[in-house]
Amino acid sequence: MGNSVIIIGGGISGMTAAGILVQQGLDVTLLEKENETGGHLARWDRLFPDRRKASEVLDFVKAGLNQVKIVTGVTVTGISKHDYDFTITTRIQHPASSIHSQFSASALLLATGFDLFEARKKEEYGYGIYNNVITSADLEDQFKSGKGILTREGKIPGRIGLVHCVGSRDEKVGNLYCSKVCCVTGVKQAIELKEMYPASEVFNFYMDLRMFDRHFEELYYEAQQKWGVSFIRGRLSECAENPDGSIILKTEDTLTGKPLKMTVDLLILLTGFVPAIGTSAICGMLGLKSGTDGFVNSADSHTSNNSSGVPGVFLAGALKGPISIGEAIADARAAAVQLAGYIKSTTAYND
């Protein structure tokens, strides 16, 4: 019985928790499947609602990781539990060979996060088929590169469409749930695009806008009043491509009740959250249960939201469902506190 902790997942939740746990004097190892920590946040340019730099948040979180052992590029291949101790086997994938190694810990924190919905699954929207259809994450990449947002033909887009709820609230792709942060992301990105190209027209196609958190509603007003972003209530049905590369949208304006056809130069798909591909394997190793949506269930969604139900295994972040950056940080801190308490109690009991 020791005070070592393994955190699986080096995104915002895993890193935040790691920072708290080393502060508590615990021996923390962070396992990350990518070659870099930072998760989806590392890819993002600016955050809603105040459009601060994502890198600032990332830097803040990373600052607490000095004493954390970070192992990147590893995949967890097995977890076993003996009394109070966990043994985790991992594989590092090299081009020539793969290296297996083992870690042991007294407690586990799962922070495996989410994947972005694969936009190709909505083939009717043409992602991967039409050049000028991109995802919200692609747009962030382009914002980050600082090269400006251009169509594939190299032109400034005169008209831009943003499609909400791509892969969320959509029975046809099997995802009934709301991804929660795409609404406000769409509003944020619309403003950023208008800011970049004031002469361009920006249209958001939505089912309804869920401006649930502080300052979100104000941002939505700002988008309309200050930036002149148009919001059209209607789910996109299909797209086609013009010979010049522009995209024809077919939708319905459900407020006027009329079918609508529109051409845009650039179409941005606000892809939602799906459970991370590797999470189910890890859940299988530990016997954890997922909901019908594929996200991991906590022991109690109100009172034990960071407990997995398996003693010594804790949950943090978006593996339990869509959340914002702020919520991820808060949730990771809560999980860290619970985990530290668990280590303390079991150590005391065993000593």
Partner 1 sequence: MIKFNLFVLPFSLGLIYIVYSIIIHYYRWIKALPAVDKVKLATGIRTPSKVTASLKEIFLEGLIHRKLWKRNPLLGYMHMSFALGWFLLIVVGNLESRIYHGAYINAPYYPIFLKFFIHDRLVLFFEIFTVPAFFRFIMDFLLLFVLSGLTLALIKRKQSKWFGMKQTTQHSLFDRVALSCLWMIFPMRLLAESYTAGYFGGGGGFLTQNLGNLLIAVTPGPAEIIAYFFWWSYSLVLGLFFIMMPYSRYMHIPSELLLIVFRHCGIQSKKWGSSFSDLEAHSCSRCGVCIDACQLDFAAGIRNIQAVYLIRGQRDQYITEYIAMTCMICGRCQEACPVGIKADSLRLIKRREIGSGQVSDFSYITSTHPGFADVVYFAGCMSHLTPSIHIAMEGIFKKAGVNYLFMDQDGSICCGRPLMLAGKDKQANELIEFNKTLIRQTRAKLLVTSCPICYKVFREEYNLPIRIQHHSQYLLELVKEGKIALQSQHRKVVYHDPCDLGRGGNVYEAPRELLGKISDLVATEKNCADALCCGGSLGLMNTSIQKKDEVTRNALQSLLKNEPDILVTACPLCKKTFSKHSQTEVRDIAELVHDAIPGRNILSTRAILETETVTS
DSSP assignment of 261-308: EEEESEEEEEE-EEE-TTHHHHHHHHT--B-TTSPBPPSBTTTBTTB-
Nearby residues of 219 by Cβ (< 8 Å), 6 or more positions away: 48, 49, 184, 187, 188, 191, 211
The reply on whether position 161 binds partner 1 by CB under 8 A is: no
Q: Which stretch binds partner 1 (CB under 8 A): 14-22, 61-69, 234-242, 329-337?
A: 234-242
Q: Does 126 bind partner 1 (CB under 8 A)?
A: yes
Q: How far apart are CA 179 and CA 16, in angstroms?
A: 22
42 makes contact with partner 1 (CB under 8 A): no
Whole-angstrom Cα distance, residue 350 to residue 86?
Answer: 16
118 binds partner 1 per the rule CB under 8 A: yes
Whether residue 103 contacts residue 6, with contact meaning beta carbons closer than 8 Å, is answered with: yes
Interaction mask 254-293, partner 1, x per CB under 8 A: -----x-x--------------------------------
- State yes or no: residue 173 binds partner 1 (CB under 8 A): yes
Tell me if 311 contacts partner 1 by CB under 8 A.
no
**Residue 169 structure tokens:** 């609230």
Using CB under 8 A as the binding rule, whether residue 83 contacts partner 1 is answered as no
207 sits near partner 1 (criterion: CB under 8 A): no
Q: Does 238 contact partner 1 by CB under 8 A?
A: yes
Interacting stretch for partner 1, rule CB under 8 A, among 78-86, 121-129, 283-291, 314-322?
121-129
Beta carbon nearer to partner 1, 63 or 277: 277
Span of 102-110, 221-229, 233-241, 295-303 interacting with partner 1 by CB under 8 A = 233-241
**Contact predicate 140/53, CB 8 Å:** no
Our finding on whether 351 is near partner 1 (CB under 8 A) is no
- Please name the helix (run of DSSP H) or strand (run of DSSP E) that holds residue 231, with its range, or none: strand 230-233
